[in-house]
C-alpha cells in the first residue's frame, strides 16, 4: 500500500520538512546532459523527474497546470477521468492522486487567505470520452488542499452576464490582493469575469468583438495578477494566445498595454522574482506546423522590462530595433508547454499537453 499524504506529513519533523521542500539533485551524466535556455536562464533537462513505475498508481492523460504550496508540495491538474489532481514532492515522487468531478480539468490557481491556502480549479467543459470529444458548460471550483469544495462559479448567464447563446468554457483564474476572483473564458466567449471573494459577480470586460483590435482577447487562455510593482500597483496580465501576446489591464478592466511574444502561442503568465515565465504550447514556425501534431512547445522567460531573455527549448531571442524576432522550437525537449512552475531555487517544472501521456519535466537552473 502506498503511503498517503497524511502518513507522509505526519512523519515529518520541522527540520525534515524544510529539507524535503528542496528538490534532490540528480547525478550528472555527461553523456545525457542536455542544456537549454539562454543568458542567465540556462537549464539542465531532467526528463525523468518523475521516476518510472508510478503511472501504475497515478495515471495521467495530459498535464495542464501546477502550483507549489507553502509546505513544498506541488499540486498539478490534468484530465484523467479518475486522477485529475496529482500531488508531488519536489523530487518528482507522487504522493497521491485523486479527483473525478472535473472531466475538463484545465486551470489551477493558488490563493492564500488569513494564513490558509486554497486552490481554484477550472473545468473548461471540454473533455474527451474514448474517441469522442464533448463541449459542456464549464465551472470554477474553490477547494481546500484536501479537495473539499468551498463553492463553485458556474455559467455567467445565471447572473445576467451572458446571453443563452454565449458558451462558458473557463480556462484560468487569478486572485487579486483584495480577494477578488478573475475568470478568463478562454475556450468560450473570451471575456474576463470579475467576482468578489465569495463568488458574487461584479463585472466583465474583454471579448473578441466590440473592442479596439489592440485590446481584443482571442483564446484568452490565461490570467495572472502582476505584483512586481507592489500590491498597490497590481495589474492583470491576460493571455491572448491567438494574437501571440499578453495584454495588461488594470484591476478594473482598463487596457494598458500589449506584450508581444511573436511566434509563440503562450499560455498563462507565471511570476517569480522580477521575471515572467510562460509555457509555449505551439509556435507559428512554418516548419514545425507541418509536423504531425505540431510538436513545437518550449518556454519563455521575460525580464522586468517584459523582454524575452531566454527561451528554454526554443531559439535564442533576438531583438532588432526594439522588436523581437519570432521565436521557434529549438531542440525537441518540450512538447506543447502548457505551464511552468518556478520552484524556490529557480528550477522549473514544465507541464506538457498532448505529450504522449508523459509526466512533467524538470529544468534545473544552472548557476
How buried is residue 64: exposed, middle or buried, by Cβ count under 10 Å (0-12/13-18/19+)? buried
pLDDT of residue 134: 83
Does residue 340 form part of some domain? yes
Residue 179: give the domain boundaries: 32-365
In a domain, 25, yes or no: no
CA dihedral 142, 147, 150, 152 (to 10 degrees): 50
Per-residue pLDDT tens digits for 70-106: 999 999 999 999 999 999 999 999 999 999 999 999 9
Residue 11, in any domain of the structure? no
Asked, for residue 348, whether it belongs to a domain, the answer is yes
pLDDT at position 127 is 83
Q: How big is the CA angle at 46 (ends 81 and 264), to the nearest 5 degrees? A: 70
Q: Which residues pair with 193 in a beta bridge?
A: 183, 204
CA atoms within 13 Å, Cβ hemisphere of 241: 24
- Does residue 22 fall inside a structural domain? no
User: How far apart (Å, rounded) are the C-alpha atoms in residues 281 and 283?
Assistant: 7
The verdict on residue 274 lying in a domain is: yes
Backbone dihedral region of 210: left (phi > 0), alpha (psi from -120 to 50 degrees) or beta? left
Using one digit for the tens of pLDDT, what is the confidence trace for 255-294? 999 999 999 999 999 999 999 999 999 988 766 555 555 5
Q: Which three cell numbers stand for residue 280?
A: 509555449
CB 301 within 8 A of CB 275: yes
Parts of the chain with a pLDDT under 50: 1-31
Note whether 332 and 309 are within 8 A (CB): no
CB contact at 8 A, 205 and 191: yes
Q: What radius of gyration do the chain's Cα atoms show?
A: 20
Total number of domains in the chain: 1
User: HSE of 91 in the Cβ direction (CA atoms, 13 Å)?
Assistant: 10
Does residue 15 lie within any of the structural domains? no
Q: Has residue 10 been placed in a domain?
A: no
Instruction: Decide if 260 contacts 226 (C-beta within 8 A).
Output: no
Whichever domain contains 351, its CATH number is 2.120.10.30
pLDDT score for 296:
77
The predicted structure's pLDDT at residue 5:
35
DSSP SS3 for 308 = strand
Single out the residue of 183, 187, 223 nearest to residue 200, CA to CA.
183
Amino acid at each position: 500500500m502506498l503511503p498517503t499524504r497524511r502518513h507522509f506529513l505526519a512523519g515529518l519533523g520541522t527540520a525534515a520538512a524544510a529539507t524535503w521542500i528542496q528538490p534532490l539533485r540528480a547525478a550528472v551524466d555527461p553523456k545525457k546532459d542536455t542544456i537549454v535556455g539562454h543568458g542567465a536562464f540556462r537549464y539542465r533537462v531532467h526528463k525523468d523527474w518523475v521516476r518510472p513505475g508510478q503511472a501504475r498508481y497515478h495515471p495521467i492523460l495530459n498535464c495542464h497546470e501546477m502550483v507549489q504550496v507553502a509546505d513544498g508540495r506541488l499540486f498539478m491538474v490534468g484530465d484523467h477521468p479518475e486522477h485529475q489532481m496529482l500531488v508531488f514532492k519536489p523530487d518528482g515522487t507522487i504522493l497521491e492522486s485523486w479527483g473525478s468531478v472535473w472531466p475538463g480539468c484545465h486551470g489551477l490557481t493558488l490563493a492564500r487567505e488569513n494564513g490558509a491556502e486554497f486552490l481554484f480549479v477550472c473545468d473548461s467543459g471540454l473533455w474527451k470520452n474514448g474517441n469522442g470529444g464533448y463541449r459542456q458548460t464549464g465551472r470554477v471550483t474553490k477547494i481546500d488542499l484536501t479537495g473539499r469544495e468551498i463553492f463553485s462559479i458556474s455559467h455567467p448567464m445565471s447572473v445576467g452576464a451572458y446571453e443563452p447563446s454565449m458558451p462558458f468554457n473557463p480556462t484560468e483564474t487569478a486572485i487579486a490582493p483584495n480577494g477578488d476572483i478573475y475568470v478568463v473564458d478562454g475556450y468560450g466567449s473570451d471575456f474576463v469575469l470579475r467576482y468578489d471573494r465569495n463568488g458574487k459577480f461584479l463585472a466583465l470586460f474583454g471579448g473578441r468583438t466590440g473592442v479596439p483590435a489592440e485590446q481584443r482577447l482571442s483564446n484568452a487562455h490565461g490570467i495572472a495578477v502582476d505584483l512586481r510593482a507592489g500590491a498597490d500597483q497590481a495589474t492583470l496580465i491576460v493571455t491572448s494566445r491567438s494574437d501571440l501576446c499578453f495584454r495588461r489591464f488594470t484591476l478594473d478592466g482598463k487596457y494598458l498595454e500589449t506584450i508581444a511574444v511573436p511566434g509563440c502561442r503562450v499560455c498563462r503568465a507565471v511570476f517569480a522574482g522580477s521575471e515572467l515565465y510562460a509555457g509555449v504550447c505551439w509556435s507559428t514556425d512554418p516548419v514545425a506546423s507541418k509536423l504531425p501534431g505540431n510538436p513545437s512547445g518550449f518556454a519563455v522567460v521575460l525580464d522586468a522590462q517584459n523582454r524575452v531573455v531566454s527561451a528554454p527549448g526554443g531559439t535564442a531571442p533576438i531583438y532588432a530595433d526594439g522588436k523581437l524576432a519570432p521565436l521557434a522550437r529549438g531542440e525537441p525537449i518540450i512538447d506543447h508547454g502548457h505551464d511552468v512552475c518556478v520552484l524556490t531555487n529557480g528550477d522549473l517544472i514544465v507541464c506538457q499537453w498532448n505529450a504522449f501521456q508523459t509526466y512533467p519535466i524538470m529544468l534545473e537552473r544552472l548557476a
